[in-house]
Each structure stands twice: as C-alpha cells, then as structure tokens.
A and B are shown apart, each in its own frame.
Chain A
Amino acid sequence: MMQVAIRGLWGRKLRTVLTALSIVLGTAMITGTFILRDQINNAFSDIFHESNKGIDVVLSKKTAFTSDNGTTAGPLPEAVIATAKSADGVDKVEGQIQATGSIVIDGKYVTGSGGAPNLVFSYVTEPFSNSQFISGGPPTDNTVAINQKLANDEHLQTGDRVKLATDTGVVPVTISGVFKLAGVSSIGGATLVVPTFHNAQQWYDRVGKTSVVYLSAQQGVSPAELKQNVEAVVSNDVKVQTGLENADQQTNDVEGATSFLTYILLAFAGAAVFVGLFIIFNTYSITVAQRMREFAMLRTLGASRRQVMRSVLLEAALMGLVASLIGIGFGILLAIGLNALFKAVGVDLPTAALTIPIVWSVLLPLGVGLGAALVASVAPAVKATRVPPIAALREGFTLPRGVLAPYIPYIGIAGAVLGVGVIAFAIRAGGGGSRVLLTMAAGAIIAFLGMSMLSQLLIVPIAGALGAVLEVVLRVSRFLGLIRDRIPVLGPLVRRVAYGLTLGYVWVGIITALVLLSILRGGLSTGSVIGAAVVLAIGGILFSVLWRRRLREWPWDASSPTAGVLARENTSRNPNRTAVTSAALMIGVALIVFVAVFVNGFKESFLGAIDRSITSDMIIQGQSFQTIPAPVVNAAAKVPGVATASGIQFADAKIGNGGIDTVNGVDPTTFSNVYRFDWLKGGSDELLRNLTPDEALIEEQFAKSHDLSPGETFNVTSIDGNKLHLTVHGEYKDPSLMTGFIIPSSTLNTFSPGSKDPQIVLVSFDQGPAGAQAERSIRQALNSFPAAKVQTNAEYKKDAENFVNGLLQFLYVLLAMCLIISLIGIVNTLALSVFERTREIGMLRAVGMTRRQLRRVIRYESTITAIIGGILGIAVGLVFGWIVAQGLSDQGLVFVVPYSQLVGFLIVATLFGILAAILPARRAAKLNVLEALQYE
C-alpha cells in the first residue's frame, strides 16, 4: 500500500504540489514566528544581561502592580544614594536618571526608527557603564554622548553642537562622544542620549531625585548578600534587586511585549492552515471520485476496505509530512529574511545566533501539517472504502450519497447559528482576555464549517444569478460586436483596442494591484477609480499596438453567451465541490471584511468621539506617543490669543482590591472650556469646576462595573503604592477617550508622580483677531518644546486615521496569505475538473469550440466560484462584525459598513477568479482533440 501511496502522489504531481502548498505556507509561518520570537527574546536577554554585568544590586521605586499601558512609578529621592552607600559591603554607588527626549535638528525632533522610544539615560561610570565609546568620551557639563545609530543616521560627530529637547525647553549641547551599547549601535531602533547625572536632573525635572541606583559589592560580598544588606537600610518603598534579577525582569517585560506579536502571527498561521483544510479536503474528495475505478480494481483484486482507506490516508500523511518539512525549511528562511528586513529598516537587533527551538518550530508545525492533512482526508478516505468492486466494471458508476448527505445543509445551518451564538456569547461575557478571544475563534471556526456545508444550497441560486448577469453582459458584447462588424473601417482598430482593454492577464494583474493598493490606502476613492480607468485606456491602446501581429491572424469569434451558460452549469453540477472551493475564499474574505468593519468601526468611534468631545482649536500630542513635558501647558496658555490650554494625564491605578483601570488627571478650572462632557444623572460642567482633590468623576462603564453612584466612595492605589479614598462627584459617558475616572491633576501628580506629564494638551483660541493669529504664535512659542507635536484638530484626526490605516494594512497583508491559499484552492479544483472532463472537452472542441471559447468557459467558471466565495465572505464578515460591534457598543464601538472597501474586495475576488483560471484554462486549451476524445 505504501507503494500505491507514493505512486499516487508522484502520478499526480501538480495537484500534490498545489495541495501541499497550503500546508507549506501555514507551517512556514509557524516555524518562522517561533524562530523570530526566540531570536528577539534571546537578543534582548543578551543585551540586558550584558548591561547588568557590572551591577550587583539595583534600586528602583517599588511598584504596586504592573501596568500594560506604560504607567511608571515616580523617581526615588536622591538621598537614597547616600543611604544605600551606608549599607555593609558596598563598594560603589551611583544614581541614574531615566527619561525621554531627543536631539533636535533644524527644529525637528529626531524620532527612533519603527516607533522605537527616545531615551535619555544619565551617564554612569565603571563598573556600571555598558557603553563602549567608539569616538570621544563620557559627557561633561552641557555635553552629551549619543548612541552610534543616532550619530550615523543624523550624521553627527564628536564635537558637533546640537540641541536637546528637554522638559524645560531646548538646550544647546555639544556631543562628547559616540558609543555602542552592549555591542550594538541601537537597541531595537531606540535613540539614546547620555548627559551627566546632574544635567539630567535639571533638564528632566528630577532635581533631588534619581530614577535608579546601581551598587557594586566589595570583594567577597555576593550580590545576594549585598541585596540583604541594602534592604536593611533603605525604606520599604524601594525595590531592591540583584543585577541578574533586574536583567531577568527586563527580559520578561520585553517578552511580554513580543508575545503579543507572536500571538497575532500564530493566529494568522492558524487561519492559513484552516483554509488549507478545505483545499486538502476538496482535492482528496475529487481524487477519490476520479479514482473510483482504481479502488474498485483493488477491491476485486482482494484489497480490504481497510487497505483502501489506509492507502488514501497514507498518501495524505505522506503529503502532509513532506509539505510540513518543506514549510519548516521555508520558515527558517523566512526568519532569516525577516531579520535582514528588520536590519534594513533600521530596527537593529543584536545578532543573537539563529537558534531553532525544536519543539515549537519543528515538532509543532510538523504535527499541525500532518494533522491537517489527515483530518482533511479522513472523510474522502471513508468514501473510498464505500466503492464496491462492481464499480470497476460499470461505465459511469457513481457512489450512492451517504446517509448523512441530505442532512448536511441543515447541520450547516445549525453550525452557522451555533458559531455565531458562541461569538456573541464570548463578547457578552466581556473582558478581552485570551479566553474570550479563543472562544470567539472557536465560534468562528464552527460558523465557517457550518457556512461551508450550508453554502451547498446557495451555490445553484447564486451561480444562476451570476450566470444570468454574465449572459446579459455577453449578449450586449455580442450586439456591440455585430455593430462593430457593420463598420468595416473602424472594425480592426476597435477590435484591437477592445482586445487590449478587455483581455490579457497583464491587465488583470495590473488592475488587481491597483485595487489592492487603493484598499490598502483606505478604500476606493473616485480618484483611484478614474486613475485606474486612465491607466487602462492608455494601456489598452498601447497593448493593441504592441500585439498587432498576433491580432491580425486571430479570428474574432462572436462572444457567445453559451460560454456563460456552460460555466454556470459547470459550477452548479457539483455544488459540494464549488461550495468547498468557494468556502476557502469565503474564509479569507470574511476575515478581511471583519477586520475592515472592526477597525473602521473603531476609527469611526474614535474620530466621532473627538468631534463630539473636543471643543478646542488645536491638539498637542507627544512625539512617538510619548508624553508631553508638563511645562508645555503653561507655555501654551501664555501665548497671546490662546484662551485655554488644558492637559490630560493618564495613569493606571488599582481599584479597591481588584482590577486596574484608567485614572485621568485634568485641571478642573479650565478643562471644560476645551472638552464637552456627556453628563449623566443630571450633571453639568459645574461638577468638574468644583471638583475637589478627594473627589472623582466616573465614567458610565466604570460606574457599572464597580457598582458606584454619586456620593459613594471608593479606594484606589497608584503604581507607586500611594492610596486615595475618593468620593464620586458625578457620572459621565465617554467610552472612547476618557474611560475610568477623572481626578484633579494636582491630585494625580502626587498620587502617581510618574504620570505628571500630560498625554494630550487641548488649546482653544480667543474670539477675534488675536485668536486668528494664535495658531502661528503657538507653533512658534512651542519651538522650545519639539517633543510636543502641535496640530489642528483636523491634522490630529488625520494622524489618528493614518495610524489606524497602518494597522489595517498590516492585518491585510497577513490576511492576504489566506487569500493566496484559497486562490491555490481554486486553481486546484479547476485543474482537477478539467482533467475529469477531458472527453467532454474533446467533444466540445470537435464540434467547433475554439480554444479561446474553451478558456473563456473555464475562466467564467472560476470567476463565478470566486465571486460566490466573495459574496459569502462579505456576508459572513459583516455578520461577525455586526455581532462584535453590538457586543462592544457600550464601549463606544460603532458598526460601520466600509462600502467602498467591500466593492474593492468583490473586485479582487473576481480578479482572483480570473487569475486562478489561467493555468487550468491553458491546460484545457492545450489538450489534443483526438486524444481527449479517446480519453477514458
């Protein structure tokens, strides 16, 4: 049987390769993801351990909880340094200021590459230093050292005079030296500026403070002993760690951040494998049907049912095994390639050796690939066992339908409903943790399986409708053709241009690219449609000129509507097959539509909230999503023509003994001038204006989840461990921008001193001429704070929109994988169908079907299948999106149908259909008429 299996695979090379490809892509993604994860984590681990090498003990502010949103504890008092020094066994002690800021060149704030942070760490001496100077040396007063990548990117050298953005304004500095950090030019693209400890204190509002304290032990004292000794002398709000513990914690923090990316990549790999299942299932189903004679022969020769089943499963397993091995190989290449790509775009990771985690990047994908092949081929294998020996003797024997077959559509309906229900339930259960996401994924899988079974029922009607449309189009084009033939002079020219316009896969490819591009850029705009039309027209003419020779001998046979009828009938004659083929595409499209609906809904709700709530004229935000130096608020307020400048600070805080929520700090006297609240329970702006330091305004969701109403009290703890006992002063609704609760910023500054800098500053102008000038004046005035990005509301929204579009693009690119796999699926099914209909094709050619007509039939068939997939995918995606939007509506998510993008997806599906037909159509057209006629 092994031999039969191997021969079987070899004998059907094309289908084996196409089927295997879906597994190859999925497993490659899994392998690549895990290698990359390990590589990044190892690299960071290396850096952190390297840079903590000379440090025996580290002191920092103790944190009451860990924040996912970057809330940090405030600095330590500088006096800790002296206290620590008094501990037994201490050799050296040094403090370090850690802040954010960057060099300013020509008035422009230099940002890190790929959104990496801009760090300012004050200089520490040996043995604590982890920098190796490649030119110059350590900073002195009013000079700074910078990392190598920053120097290279901005063409800076030791001795250059530049400006540094600080919390107190722009200060002129001289570059004292350029260094590498733990052996690399930059850590993940971040910029690093190193001033003296004293300068850093002044510039970054840390006078009398220190962010961390490093200690080294005397000879003979171990880090653990030193830690104990230090713990004995410092107060208990100081966290004492050994250098190793610190390195481990830093590594863990980074791993936490990268694991998010890992999960996303794995989710997409999973989707790819899931789509692959459909393709494997379909291929094996068709193959089994075509090999019925063969199985019957084997049975007459004495093969048992079990042997027949085993031969099919063995073949699938072999294919799965080889495909996963190839996939793993590709995954390794992928990881190497991505690493090179990261380097090329400037995310400089230290080159940790390429390690291949055997379990995750070899065994797991191997299991997934093999498992997928087996799972998807079980049903076809069972079907093969049902072939009776008699089938070998009878021409055109067809298997009786299985017992379950009539119920499959109903099982499908049940599955679809159940799946959708599971998703709705998961969302209602709330949260957002991985449990909810996994439940939603399970719901989606059930719904997709259900839809693919149910869609058998939909194939015939949809194909009928599409066929009717196609027929009308063909009739019109035939009519035009008749007219054209009546105008002999125009004939050849029109014919050529028409050919150039409508045919040629080059054009299909170009249009696909154009549509994809415009979707990536946020939907079809009139501009892009007109652009595409112009490109097409010019191209059509060019094309017709270039192809003149070919066209001359090319007989222009009237486009007959029969091609449409045949195509429609071909898709309908085997609804199961068409259903499964289009289901693969359906999944990809549904996921894309869902993402589009969700992200656009998110964007709409966010932008809508900005429109509704923000009444200021300008919005100031930090560079690279960093905070804005606190003095910006006063600087902005002083600008002539500015009526109000008011900031919002965010911090995470622990509520009571339980969960973590957002605390917003605003200035009660000014904030309502720039922000419109949606007050609940009869509140008004008055509530904000008379907010006292121990009172809070709470958001509706917060009120609900903590069961609070005005007049009641609650306790909160900051990341520094400070506690507040707050009275609810009022309630408002603002699920997008100001979730959690609001306290006066003066309270927040002492409660969570690490969050004293605002995230956003809103500025409104005076009425009258001064106000009209204010935009210019404020941009000028804030030149001394380049870390603050001054924008009009429109610019700010555009920024936000670009960010969201960037996210969408990233997701689309990942989802394109699913589409490509489903494209392969269509190619495969078509190729198999062509093969199956060899004799039929021979007959059609004999009675006068031209090669072009034959190709056209196959192209239409493919297009109908693809459009069905597209339509079903859009429907399912919209349903998913709607459910999620409903479930999250109280969190401000709105349901938006991105019509222009949907049209774009449908066009892409159509073009995919056309592209998928290229190879099978070519194969069919190449068939020799005589041989095809005699084919058994």
Chain B
Amino acid sequence: MNATATAVVSARDVTRRYGEGDAAVDALRGVTLDIVPGQFAAVMGPSGSGKSTLMHILAGLDKPTTGVVEIAGTDITNLSDSRLTLLRRHQVGFIFQFFNLLPMLTAEENILLPLRLAGETVDRTWANEIIDQVGLSDRRKHRPSELSGGQQQRVAIARALASRPAVLFADEPTGNLDSTTSGEILNLLRTMVTTHGQTMVMVTHDANAAAMADRVLFLADGEIVRDQGRSEASEVLAAMAEVSAL
C-alpha cells in the first residue's frame, strides 16, 4: 500500500471530542498523519490547539472518538486495556514534562523499570550504553530527590529508551527546565534519533526545540494547518505567528 505500511505511527481522520451536548469540545477535528521510522517530528501550536490530545492518542494512552490509529502496524482502536498496555510496554516510550520518576527507586532502577515490568532479562550492554549516553554513569545509585531537574529528565529519557521502543513521545520535555539544561536535553534527544534511528514525536512550545526536528507540524483548533520539513528557529517562529493569526 502507501506510507501506512511503513509508518511507525499512523492516524486516519482522527477526531476527539470531550464531553457531550452543548459543553462538548472538539479537541481534534480530523487529523491524518504518518510518522515514518527514524523521523523526529515536532508538534507545535497555540495553547489548547490539541497537541497533547493528539500525542496521547498516537501513543495509545487515549482513544479517538472516530478514526483509526495504528502503532507499529497494530490498530489500537479496538484493543483491550491489557493488550494496549503490552503494546505500550514494548513499542512506546514516554518522556513527561514532570519527570514522573518513582521516588523510592534509584536512577538505575527507574531506568530499568519498564524492562523489569515486562519480566525480561535486562540487556546489560544496552542498558549501560544508554546510561552512558545520557551521562548518568556516576549517578546510577542516586534517588530522584538527589538529582537535578536536568538529571531527572535524563533518567526519564534513558527509561524511555531502555525497552527500545518503536516510537518515543515527549510532551514538552524541556518545559520545566532552564534554557541551558533544555539545550543539553534537546541535543541528547537529537543524538538518539541520529545515532540509533529512534523515531520520536515531541510536543513543544519552544521554536529552538522544533528547529532540532526533521519535521514540524502545526496544529490549530484541532487540525493540522502546516506540515513542513526541517526548519530554522526563525522559520518556525514565523510559521507560528502565521498559525496563531488564523
């Protein structure tokens, strides 16, 4: 067939409606989209445009009201909660704005958590490699409370990568960090895409972050209004201004 066959994540005419009747909100109004392997896509748009909603649906955390979503070739719209969970466990990685680490586990334990949940034997070399790459080799045994925000986000990145997911989703991963740390984290994400061919979808408000991506999608009022390739930060800003004015 077409791109769908090769896409890691694909959405067809996806809508999402919250609530019913007069109070209903259409957060997504028919989004069609394919993310191909190895692609780093950034999603931008004004507040309330539906970025988070889209990401949640693409990641299998939420279900569309209408339309079809496939992750790694599996149609998720009719999956039971357990199957969906297993799919997430093996195919999807997450990075959250608030790092969402378990306070009572060490950095390393947090990183290995998804593997352990799957009951899989941990691939030591791979684990060490990502821990090295995120620069936490000397922080393995520390608890989250003993780590800085940037370090905590690195733990979250390593955790998301540990299970070699088909696609990694990040919702404003730098939203809670200062600009220097943000830069470091974005570079790290870019490296993962470049060196490991990691597919990634990142929601962001930061033009500099979007400039790191291979593709920038603009959302307004629940629809994709622009879809452009690799862009400079200034181009992104200009596009944003245009979109907001719509």
A843: chain B residues at CB < 8 Å are 94, 96, 100, 102
B103: chain A residues at CB < 8 Å are 573
Residue on B with the closest CB to A570? B104
Chain B proximity mask over A832-854: 1 for CB below 8 Å, otherwise 0: 00000001101111111111110
Indicate which residue in B80, B88, B102 contacts A553 across the interface (CB closer than 8 Å).
B80
Docked complex Cα distance between A274 and B109 (Å): 40
Residue on A with the closest CB to B176? A395
Q: Would A849 and B102 count as touching, CB distance under 8 A?
A: no
Q: Would A847 and B56 count as touching, CB distance under 8 A?
A: no
User: What are 18 A-B pairs at a CB distance below 8 A?
Assistant: A554-B82, A557-B119, A558-B118, A558-B119, A560-B116, A569-B104, A570-B104, A573-B103, A839-B98, A843-B102, A844-B113, A847-B113, A849-B85, A850-B85, A851-B81, A853-B117, A933-B61, A933-B100
Within 8 A of A (CB), among B68-111: 80-83, 85-86, 88-90, 93-94, 96, 98, 100, 102-105, 109
Which of B56, B102, B109 has the most A CB atoms < 10 Å from its CB?
B102
Pairs of residues from A and B, 3 with the lowest C-beta to C-beta distance, nearest first: A848-B89, A558-B119, A562-B116
Does B114 count as interface, using CB distance less than 8 angstroms? Answer: yes
Does B163 count as interface, using CB distance less than 8 angstroms? Answer: yes
Which of B94, B98, B117 has the most A CB atoms < 10 Å from its CB?
B117
Indicate which residue in A555, A570, A842, A930 contacts B82 across the interface (CB closer than 8 Å).
A555
Docked complex Cα distance between A478 and B119 (Å): 8
Q: Would A839 and B100 count as touching, CB distance under 8 A?
A: yes
Within 8 A of A (CB), among B94-150: 94, 96, 98, 100, 102-105, 109, 113-114, 116-119
Q: Would B118 and A840 count as touching, CB distance under 8 A?
A: no
Given contacts A555-B83, A930-B61, contact A847 B88 (CB under 8 A): yes
Indicate which residue in B62, B86, B96, B105 contacts A557 across the interface (CB closer than 8 Å).
B86
Q: Would B104 and A847 count as touching, CB distance under 8 A?
A: no
Does B190 count as interface, using CB distance less than 8 angstroms? Answer: no
B105: chain A residues at CB < 8 Å are 569
A559: chain B residues at CB < 8 Å are 119
Docked complex Cα distance between A570 and B96 (Å): 22
Does A572 count as interface, using CB distance less than 8 angstroms? Answer: yes
Does A561 count as interface, using CB distance less than 8 angstroms? Answer: yes
A438 to chain B, nearest CB (A): 44
B88: chain A residues at CB < 8 Å are 846-848
Docked complex Cα distance between A892 and B217 (Å): 88
Residue on B with the closest CB to A936? B98
Given contacts A840-B102, A848-B163, contact A929 B61 (CB under 8 A): yes
With an 8 Å Cβ cutoff, the count of chain A residues facing the other chain is 33
B86: chain A residues at CB < 8 Å are 555, 557, 848, 850
Docked complex Cα distance between A21 and B102 (Å): 33
Q: Would B113 and A562 count as touching, CB distance under 8 A?
A: yes
Q: Would B82 and A851 count as touching, CB distance under 8 A?
A: yes
Docked complex Cα distance between A624 and B103 (Å): 65
Chain B proximity mask over A257-271: 1 for CB below 8 Å, otherwise 0: 000000000000000
Does B159 count as interface, using CB distance less than 8 angstroms? Answer: yes
Docked complex Cα distance between A842 and B82 (Å): 15
Name 8 extra pairs, CB < 8 A, besides A555-B83, A846-B94.
Answer: A557-B82, A560-B116, A560-B119, A847-B94, A848-B85, A848-B114, A848-B117, A848-B163
Q: Would B116 and A851 count as touching, CB distance under 8 A?
A: no
A361 to chain B, nearest CB (A): 48
A404 to chain B, nearest CB (A): 24
Given contacts A573-B103, A847-B114, contact A933 B96 (CB under 8 A): yes
Given contacts A570-B104, A930-B56, contact A847 B89 (CB under 8 A): yes
B57 to chain A, nearest CB (A): 10
Docked complex Cα distance between A848 and B90 (Å): 8
Residue on B with the closest CB to A849? B117
Docked complex Cα distance between A773 and B104 (Å): 77
B102 to chain A, nearest CB (A): 6
Docked complex Cα distance between A560 and B119 (Å): 5
Docked complex Cα distance between A73 and B86 (Å): 84
Residue on B with the closest CB to A569? B104
Chain B proximity mask over A916-936: 1 for CB below 8 Å, otherwise 0: 000000000000011001000
A880 to chain B, nearest CB (A): 35
Chain B proximity mask over A841-880: 1 for CB below 8 Å, otherwise 0: 0111111111111000000000000000000000000000
Docked complex Cα distance between A933 and B171 (Å): 12
B96: chain A residues at CB < 8 Å are 843, 933
Q: Would A560 and B82 count as touching, CB distance under 8 A?
A: no
B52 to chain A, nearest CB (A): 9
A795 to chain B, nearest CB (A): 58
Residue on B with the closest CB to A848? B89
Q: Would B159 and A847 count as touching, CB distance under 8 A?
A: yes
Given contacts A839-B100, A840-B100, A933-B96, contact A850 B113 (CB under 8 A): no
Residue on A with the closest CB to B94? A846
Within 8 A of B (CB), among A508-560: 553-555, 557-560
Q: Would B104 and A560 count as touching, CB distance under 8 A?
A: no
Docked complex Cα distance between A566 and B105 (Å): 8
A558: chain B residues at CB < 8 Å are 118-119
B163: chain A residues at CB < 8 Å are 848
Within 8 A of B (CB), among A562-603: 562, 565-566, 569-570, 572-573
B246 to chain A, nearest CB (A): 27
Docked complex Cα distance between A930 and B84 (Å): 14
Given contacts A846-B61, A848-B86, A848-B163, contact A561 B116 (CB under 8 A): yes
